[in-house]
Amino acid sequence: MAKKLSLSPPLPFKTTEGKKGNDPPILLYSDGAARGNPGPAGIGVVIHADATKIEGKRFIGKATNNTAEYEALIYGLHLLIDKNLIRPLKIHSDSQLMVRQLNGQYKIKQSHLRELARKARELLQFFPSHEIIHIPREQNKEADRLANEAIDETNK
């Protein structure tokens, strides 16, 4: 079950005069995997913040692949907030559906995905700016590996 945050978005983002716009964005790679649709599912995230690399994975039970993709993004956003890594953010996902839904290019027809999108958008308010980018699967191998490891480790 996803960790619940009862935080409010931070006060408006402030920078010092000399640093405005100089912070490199944090890079978040997220992926969800389901074996069967629905089936056993896992999520994985890889975060690059300056020279720091953070990895996270979790088994989420039975879910569809689309649900797992959203859960992975939400998990990654929670990690960033918990670690107080609040800077401009570039999100990379191989889920074309999720990226286009969150960018407003596709309508979200399923109610459970609408709720997950609402949660993601709520968490994105903590960041001064964000960009959600669709990438090919080949560029998301680390997050995919973590998502699959989460399933494998639970099914042993």
- Dump pLDDT digits (tens) for 36-46: 999 999 999 99
Tell me what the pLDDT averaged over the chain comes to. 89
Residue 142 reports pLDDT greater than 90: yes
Work out the average pLDDT over 103-111: 97
Which pLDDT does position 156 carry in this prediction? 67
Which pLDDT does position 51 carry in this prediction? 93
0.95 exceeded by pTM: no
26-154: CATH number? 3.30.420.10
Q: Tell me how far apart the alpha carbons of residues 134 and 145 are, in angstroms, rounded to a whole number.
A: 18
Residue 15 reports pLDDT greater than 70: no
Q: 96, 135 in Cβ contact below 8 A? A: no
Residue 58 reports pLDDT greater than 70: yes
3-state secondary structure the chain: CCCCCCCCCCCCCCCCCCCCCCCCCEEEEEEEEECCCCEEEEEEEEEEECCEEEEEEEEEEEECHHHHHHHHHHHHHHHHHHCCCCCCEEEEECCHHHHHHHCCCCCCCCHHHHHHHHHHHHHHCCCCCEEEEECCHHHHHHHHHHHHHHHHHHCC
